[in-house]
Structure 1
Amino acid sequence: MLIQFKFALCLFLAASCVAMPQLANAAYSPTKNQHAFLQELSLRSFRFFWEQANPENGLIPDQADADGKGHSKVASIAAVGFGLTAYCIADERQWESHEALKQRTLTTLRFFANEAETEHGFFYHFLDMKTGKRAWDCELSSVDTALLLAGVLTAREHFENKEIKELATRIYNRIDWKWMQNGKKTLTMGWKPEKGFLSARWSHYNELMLIYILAMGSPTHPIEPDAWDAWSRNKIIKYGKYTFIECPPLFTHQYSHAWIDFENKRDDYANYWANSRLATLAQQQFSVDLAKRFPLYTKYMWGLTAAAGENGYMVWGGPPETVSPPVDGSIVPCAPGGSIPFAPETCIPTLYNMYKKHKAKAWKRYGFVDSFNPHTKWYADKVLGIDVGITLLMIENQNDRFVWNVFQKNLEIKQAMSLANFRKITPSEKRHNRTNSIFFKKAGLRDLSQSQRPIAQAHWSEDHIVGKRDWQTMVLNGEGISQFAFTWNTEELVFHAKLTGMKLRNKYPATQLFNDDCIELFIDPQNNGLRWQNKEDWQIGFAPPNRSYEWFRKRKSFSASIITGKDKRGFTVRCAIKWKDLGIKPRKGLKLGVSPVVNQTSVKDAGKTEWHFKENAKSVELGILRLIK
């Protein structure tokens, strides 16, 4: 008889009756309501994998409707890896019958062992949900094969079933990791039958540790242990009091840890558990520091990582702040969700705060929607399998280390960890790791102050077309949202802006636009600090109906188009400036100082919203615009 799901809010009312498992991180104990909420979130996350999988072959969709009414036609093999692990969790928690979970696992493993297309044991990133054939022209993926394999090996150790163990072992043993190195020490990211190996390699710190541990531990086609030393760890930053190896999207600090227990361990270079904790705490502080631009970011309302955003799949992160796509005020719940074991004292209250404040639109059948933007009141209607998965696994690891304990039973993993020279940290090393995860000396440490200048990118476009992901967002001090972008070609730089949701006052002539509701653009072409009335710098104002003015030299060497919105609550701007008038020659990599500013007459004492406008003794520091091609 199937054990029925219980997803009612009465779970919260009955929180005092819930028995709490032993926490992995005893430094923080969630409240009874928080604990009941986490149980609910875990259960709903499992429901995604159970309901959305194809029962005929075990494939799990890359994404599905948050309300459970439909899913994509394409499966993600990484989602399958999370799903296989979810079945083990559900068996342990008795969320579904043991027999049903075992049979679903067998169906999945039989497909990948006997039917799925492979090359040297590796699988294609995306598969057709029904046929199991390669979707689109996707790559044979080393990282997604590793994420799948992590779930396969978790199932091998959890289920006491001969066929499961045999199928899982066969899938692992036939993977030719040396082939994926393609003659070098580092592993390539993938291969395509049409073009061969991808040029990109797993050569810099990110989610790569799981891949290398699996490859080094292979009983049939292992790579040499010196491959562990071949990838670089040199992108070290200091943000506030935290020093760590950076990689802005938070998922890169989480995926390897979902299965491998790195806590209280180090290799010759770092404590990677501490590194993920410091990256998480730094992102929390970074988000608070962004509150001037995004006022709804707070100590317990933050989360930047890869997700389904309003303009497609976005890879947000920080610190350092991602530039393409730029941070736009969105929040991704799986960012704190995937970091729960590292920093439960911030991640659990953050998730619970999201639930309390946004449950009406952000809380659905499978838990949280993939992302939402409280500043624009936009909420995704999808969930991604890998985002649901990392949240589920990390909640359960925090509960009682379940996934870590099961996965660590694989002898191949223990051997690989030994080959990478992992050992327990000492008490003094643990004290060091409170603020610094690094154990080697590295010159050129980047100290990112909390007032770091934001960067926007101007994309090359002969026709000055702006891509959906290129817009920077400014949340105004009053009502409304402003967005801006830049494009360039050999002749001119073009500023694009749009203002929405703001009632406009248009009263003064162009020479006095600053007294009206308007958009201003400050430009420091030499990027050496804007100075008032300096002949090299620019201050241009824009307002409907088609009014524009440049104040510093009263220049007219620009063309501007200003169009009022149909609802009279906003307008758009397109301003083209010749490079010769800016006094510089354009080139890829060139940096200018810029800052759009929005004036709102309805807001007293705080009527100017600035992208970055920091006044010093002799000049004004603007944000950075970088030309890319």
Structure 2
Amino acid sequence: MIKIDFRFFSKTQYLTVNSQLLIAIKSIFRFFSKTQQLIAKSQQLIALCLLCSLPTMAQRKAAPLGDSALLTAVQHRTFNYFWKFGHPVSGLAPERTATPNVVTIGGSGFGVMVILVGIERGFITREEGVDRLLKIVNFLVKADSYHGMWAHWLDGTTGKTIAFSRKDDGADIVESAFMFQGLLCVRQYFSKDTPKENELRDKIGWLWNDAEWDWFTRGGQDVLYWHWSPNNGWSMNHPIKGYNECLITYVLAAASPKFAISPQVYHQGWAMSNTFFNGKTFYGITLPLGFDYGGPLFFAHYSFLGLDPHGLKDRYADYWEQNKNHTLINRQYCIENPKKYKGYSADCWGLTASDNHEFYSAHSPANDLGVITPTAALSSFPYTPEYSMQALKYFYNKVGDKLWGEYGFYDAFSETSNWYDHQYLAIDQGPIVVMIENYRTGLLWKLFMSCPEVKQGLQKLGFTSPAIKA
């Protein structure tokens, strides 16, 4: 017997399933009986049963989804942003729903990890997953690149660079690092000796081996630079110094098989900055690194979709402590709510970069515009599972349809401004699926930390981790 939980379905999906069921059952009755009256009666009965199975809002509240089912529902809906809304030519993820032909490299890096979750959760088959990932990798092989790195944005049809800003029209090594983090997970996942999986691994290897990380030291300086352009050279002039979302860039640069940076670049560049060390206490919680109050919460997510923070330490910090404390401070700020915004509470928290009622901003306790972004709390599930579930239930049950749509939760909302976004952003949707899965099974952490090059790169930079010894 097949059981269908219609609470997971949108109205369109519900009607589609119902119509398909009716067609199937009509066919069965036609096969077993030529009596039109029986067919008609069966149609009426089936329609009545299906109508009764569609829960009202009151029924949903009376019989809410269990925690595990709710997590799966959120993962499935959000997965569909990358699967159903993926670009038809490239397979990559559009930057946002309003720009379907502008694909994003960083968000697509998160997206390839999401596809692995989709396979493991049974949303798609392994064969479907490998076919989509081959499409993506074949597109990346031919797309514009600069010393082995991609631009922030590409045209999803042609693979040509779309300038992110006037002078940012070339390589973006941070966005590329997010992509390589995902591709290495894909390489580790598809380990079978089949033609497609062999081809996928080989092509990821080509891309990984061709990435010239050391080029971005700008002639041998002890720091990595974020951008380089054939038209504008180094004119963006943005050294990558911490503490922020870019730790994964240095880890991968140290791990490169052919173009690795020296440890000195990490220690003298990334770690020597007036925004690196902290050590202060906020709401009784010590923050080892970064801006006061921690900055936007994506700092605790983007580098750690693959990089497992459990027991991950170097001479500067314990990264589990860093990320957990950052999350707790962000949440406590929302509870204290010093600006008295409507809705902020222990149920409704999470400040990070997202859309807002004016345009877009990196929301944080130091830049609080009254905007809550679901990805902040939901991507923090590994660090604060009880508090993240509390926020999830508030978003799903209380804010409800104002926030919940075809691809999961919309990007952001502000109860103070009575504003609810109608868009999705790839870079915010991806971490929701991946970090919930890392909380549930550790899937992406296990894959990424199993890479021999990653283990060597971490050791080279002075990190310790249980995964390095494994």
Q: Name the TM tier (shorter chain).
A: 0.7 to 0.9
CA deviation profile, 1:586-612 (whole Å, cap 9, x unmatched): xxxxxxxxxxxxxxxxxxxxxxxxxxx
Q: Which residue of 1 aligns with 2:83?
A: 50
Q: Which residue of 2 aligns with 1:343?
A: 384
Q: Which residue of 1 aligns with 2:399?
A: 358
What do you get for the CA RMSD once the two structures are aligned? 2.0
Distance in 1, matches of 2:128 and 2:243, equals 39
Letter paired with 1:314: S
Q: Which residue of 2 aligns with 1:280?
A: 327
Note if contact 1:337-1:395 (Cα within 8 Å) is conserved in structure 2: yes
The answer to whether structure 1 residue 83 and structure 2 residue 111 are counterparts is yes
Distance in 2, matches of 1:139 and 1:308, equals 25
The answer to whether structure 1 residue 199 and structure 2 residue 199 are counterparts is no
Note if contact 1:7-1:44 (Cα within 8 Å) is conserved in structure 2: no
Please state how far the C-alpha of 1:32 moved relative to its aligned partner.
6.7
Letter paired with 2:358: N
CA deviation profile, 1:134-179 (whole Å, cap 9, x unmatched): 1135341011000111111111111131111110011111011110
Letter paired with 1:149: F
Distance in 1, matches of 2:423 and 2:316, equals 39
Distance in 2, matches of 1:300 and 1:204, equals 31
* 1:368-379 alignment, distance < 5 Å: 368-379=409-420
The answer to whether structure 1 residue 129 and structure 2 residue 156 are counterparts is yes
The equivalent position to 1:157 in structure 2, one of 188, 194, 213, is 188
Distance in 2, matches of 1:283 and 1:7, equals 35
* 1:434-583 alignment, distance < 5 Å: none
Letter paired with 1:238: T
Distance in 2, matches of 1:344 and 1:333, equals 14
Distance in 2, matches of 1:242 and 1:328, equals 23
* 1:151-190 alignment, distance < 5 Å: 151-159=182-190, 160=192, 161-182=197-218, 183-190=220-227
CA deviation profile, 1:227-251 (whole Å, cap 9, x unmatched): 2212232244320211112341110
Please state how far the C-alpha of 1:5 moved relative to its aligned partner.
13
Note if contact 1:63-1:385 (Cα within 8 Å) is conserved in structure 2: yes
Note if contact 2:82-2:92 (Cα within 8 Å) is conserved in structure 1: no
Q: Which residue of 2 aligns with 1:402?
A: 443
Name stretches of at least 5 consecutive residues in structure 1 with no aligned partner: 12-30, 66-70, 426-629
Please state how far the C-alpha of 1:292 moved relative to its aligned partner.
5.1
Letter paired with 1:112: L
Distance in 1, matches of 2:123 and 2:362, equals 33
Distance in 1, matches of 2:185 and 2:3, equals 24
Larger Rg belongs to: 1
Distance in 2, matches of 1:280 and 1:209, equals 17
Alpha-carbon distance change, 166 to 6 in structure 1, aligned in 2, over 3 angstroms:
farther
Please state how far the C-alpha of 1:97 moved relative to its aligned partner.
2.0
1:260 partner SS: coil
The answer to whether structure 1 residue 101 and structure 2 residue 141 are counterparts is no
1:200 partner SS: coil
Q: Which residue of 1 aligns with 2:34?
A: none
Distance in 1, matches of 2:3 and 2:449, equals 30
The answer to whether structure 1 residue 72 and structure 2 residue 100 are counterparts is yes
Distance in 1, matches of 2:345 and 2:411, equals 19
The equivalent position to 1:111 in structure 2, one of 139, 152, 155, is 139
CA deviation profile, 1:82-101 (whole Å, cap 9, x unmatched): 11111111112221122111
Q: Which residue of 2 aligns with 1:255?
A: 302
Alpha-carbon distance change, 382 to 317 in structure 1, aligned in 2, over 3 angstroms:
same
1:122 partner SS: coil
Note if contact 2:305-2:434 (Cα within 8 Å) is conserved in structure 1: yes
Letter paired with 2:94: P
The equivalent position to 1:243 in structure 2, one of 248, 266, 286, is 286
Letter paired with 1:117: D
CA deviation profile, 1:479-527 (whole Å, cap 9, x unmatched): xxxxxxxxxxxxxxxxxxxxxxxxxxxxxxxxxxxxxxxxxxxxxxxxx
The equivalent position to 2:255 in structure 1, one of 213, 217, 239, is 217
Distance in 2, matches of 1:218 and 1:417, equals 11
More strand by proportion, 1 or 2? 1
Note if contact 2:143-2:158 (Cα within 8 Å) is conserved in structure 1: no
More helix by proportion, 1 or 2? 2
Note if contact 2:286-2:325 (Cα within 8 Å) is conserved in structure 1: yes
* 1:19-34 alignment, distance < 5 Å: 33-34=66-67
1:123 partner SS: coil
Distance in 1, matches of 2:208 and 2:4, equals 36
Letter paired with 2:300: H
Letter paired with 1:329: G
Distance in 2, matches of 1:216 and 1:227, equals 9
Please state how far the C-alpha of 1:417 moved relative to its aligned partner.
1.5
Please state how far the C-alpha of 1:365 moved relative to its aligned partner.
0.8
Q: Which residue of 1 aligns with 2:46?
A: none
Q: Which residue of 2 aligns with 1:9?
A: 7
Note if contact 2:355-2:361 (Cα within 8 Å) is conserved in structure 1: yes
Give the TM-score, by structure 1 length.
Answer: 0.60
Q: Which residue of 2 aligns with 1:140?
A: 171
Relative contact order: is structure 1 or structure 2 higher (C-alpha 8 Å, sep ≥ 6)? 2
Give the TM-score, by structure 2 length.
Answer: 0.80
Distance in 2, matches of 1:5 and 1:388, equals 28
Distance in 2, matches of 1:59 and 1:258, equals 18
Distance in 2, matches of 1:410 and 1:6, equals 39
Name stretches of at least 5 consecutive residues in structure 2 with no aligned partner: 10-63
Note if contact 2:146-2:170 (Cα within 8 Å) is conserved in structure 1: no
Letter paired with 1:180: F
1:63 partner SS: coil
Note if contact 2:209-2:258 (Cα within 8 Å) is conserved in structure 1: yes
Distance in 2, matches of 1:173 and 1:253, equals 28
Note if contact 1:369-1:380 (Cα within 8 Å) is conserved in structure 2: yes
Please state how far the C-alpha of 1:403 moved relative to its aligned partner.
0.7
The answer to whether structure 1 residue 305 and structure 2 residue 352 are counterparts is yes
How many residue pairs end up in the alignment? 391
Distance in 1, matches of 2:120 and 2:336, equals 41
Letter paired with 2:86: A
Note if contact 2:313-2:463 (Cα within 8 Å) is conserved in structure 1: yes
Note if contact 1:55-1:104 (Cα within 8 Å) is conserved in structure 2: no
